[in-house]
Structure 1
Amino acid sequence: MRTAVAWMLPALLFLGGAAHAEWLERVEDGIMGTRIVVELWADDRNQGNAAIEAVLTEMRRVDQEMSTYKATSEVSKVNAEAAKAPVKISGELFDLLTQAQEYSQLTDGAFDITYASVGYLYDYRKHVKPDDEAIANALPGINYRHVVLDRQTHTVKFARAGVRIDLGGIGKGHAVDRGIWILQQHAISHALVTAGGDSRIIGDRIGKPWVIGIRHPDRKEEVIARIPLEDAAISTSGDYERYFDENGVRYHHILDPHTGRSARKVRSATIIGPTATRTDGLSKTAFVLGAEEAIAIYNRLEDIDAIVVKPDGQVLYTKGLEAPAAPSSPR
Structure 2
Amino acid sequence: MLKVSVIGGLLALALGTLRAEEKRFVFERPLMATRFTVTCHGADEAVARKAAEEAFAAAAEVNRIASDYLTDSELMRLPTGQATKVSPVFAELLAASFQFAKATDGAFDPTLGPLTKLWRESRRQHRLPAADDLAKAREASGWQHVTWDTSASTILLTKPGMQLDLGGIAKGFAADRMLAVMTKAGFPRTCIAAGGDLRLGDPPPGKTGWRVGLQTFDEDQPEEVVELVHCAVSTSGDLHQFAEIDGKHYSHILDPATGLGLTERIAVSVIAPTATTSDALATAACVAGAEKAEAVALKGGATRVIVRTTR
Q: Which region of structure 1 is more displaced relative to structure 2, 234-243 or 292-301?
A: 292-301
Query: CA 1:68/1:196 → structure 2, altered by over 3 Å: closer, same or farther?
Result: same
Tell me the equivalent position of 1:56: 56
Alpha-carbon distance in 2 for matches of 1:117, 1:92: 23
Give the Cα–Cα distance (whole angstroms) in 2 for the partners of residues 152 and 57 of structure 1: 27
- Structure 2 unaligned blocks of 5 or more: none
Residue 231 of structure 1 deviates from its aligned partner by: 1.1
1:41 matched residue in structure 2: 41
How far apart in 1 are the matches of 2:88 and 2:54?
21
Q: Which amino acid aligns with 1:212?
A: V
Which protein, 1 or 2, shows the higher relative CO under an 8 Å CA cutoff with sep ≥ 6? 2
Instruction: Quote how far apart the aligned CAs of 1:12 are.
Output: 0.7
**Secondary structure, in 3 states, of the residue corresponding to 1:262?**
coil
**CA distances 1:88-133 after superposition (whole Å, capped 9, x unpaired):** 2112212221211111111111110112221111226734552333
Question: Are the aligned partners of 2:119 and 2:260 in contact in 1 as well (CA < 8 Å)?
Answer: no
CA distance in 2, matches of 1:252, 1:132: 19
Equivalent-residue separation in structure 2 for 1:205 and 1:136 (angstroms): 51
- The alpha-carbon distance between structure 1 residues 192 and 9, as it changes in their structure 2 partners (threshold 3 A), is farther
Quote the Cα distance in structure 2 between the aligned partners of 1:92 and 1:303: 23
1:282 match: secondary structure:
helix
Q: CA RMSD in A?
A: 2.1
Please state if 1:195 is matched with 2:194.
yes
Q: Deviations over 1:19-63 (max 9, x none)?
A: 86810001222x111111110001111111111111112111211
Contact 2:37 2:194 in 1 (8 A): yes
Give me the whole-angstrom Cα distance separating, in 2, the residues matched to 1:33 and 1:191. 22
User: Please, which moves more after superposition, 190-199 or 10-19?
Assistant: 10-19
Q: Which amino acid aligns with 1:58?
A: A
Aligned position for 1:91:
88
Amino acid at match of 1:165: L
SS at structure 1 position matched to 2:198: strand
Taking the aligned partners of 1:17 and 1:103, their CA distance within structure 2 comes to 34
In the TM superposition, what are the counterparts of 1:130-169 in structure 2 within 5 Å?
Answer: 130-169=129-168
**1:112 — aligned with what?**
109
Distance 1:233 1:269 in 2: 14
Asked if 2 retains the 8 angstrom alpha-carbon contact of 1:266 and 1:308, the reply is no
Partner deviation per Cα, 1:128-158 (whole Å, 9 max, x = no partner): 5523331122112221011112345422111
Range 91-100 or range 167-176, more displaced = 91-100
What SS does structure 1 have at the residue aligned with 2:32? helix
Aligned length: 300
Query: Are the equivalent residues in 1 in contact too, given 2:188–2:201 (CA < 8 A)?
Result: yes
Give the structure with higher Rg (CA): 1
Q: Which residue does the alignment assign to 1:215?
A: 215
Matched, 1:264 2:267: no
Q: 161-170 vs 85-94, which deviates more?
A: 85-94
Q: 1: CA distance between counterparts of 2:224 and 2:160?
A: 45
Structure 1 unaligned spans of 5+ = 1-7, 313-331
| Equivalent position SS for 2:69 | coil
Cα deviations across residues 255-299 of structure 1 (Å, max 9, x unaligned)? 011110112334211100110000001001222221221212334
CA distance in 2, matches of 1:27, 1:154: 33
8 Å CA contact 1:127–1:244 kept in 2: the answer is no
Give the equivalent residue in structure 2 for 1:26.
27
Match of residue 70 from structure 1 = 70
Q: 1:224 to 1:40 in 2, by over 3 A?
A: same
CA-CA distance at 1:180 after TM superposition: 0.4
Higher mean alpha-carbon deviation, 141-150 vs 122-131, is at 122-131
C-alpha distance in 1, partners of 2:222/2:151?
Answer: 48
Whichever residue aligns with residue 194 of structure 2, its letter is A
**What letter corresponds to residue 279 of structure 1 in structure 2?**
S
SS at match of 1:277: helix
Matched residue, 1:174: 173
3-state SS, counterpart of residue 112 of structure 1 = coil
TM, length-normalised to structure 2: 0.89
In the TM superposition, residue 308 of structure 1 has moved relative to its aligned partner by: 0.8
Distance change (3 Å), C-alpha of 1:76 and 1:108: same
Q: Distance in 2 between matches of 1:285 and 1:302?
A: 12
User: C-alpha distance in 1, partners of 2:233/2:111?
Assistant: 24
Matches within 5 A, 1:170-319: 170-208=169-207, 209-217=209-217, 219-300=218-299, 303-312=302-311
Distance in 2, matches of 1:293 and 1:205, equals 35
Q: Does structure 2 conserve the Cα–Cα contact (< 8 Å) formed by 1:216 and 1:222?
A: no
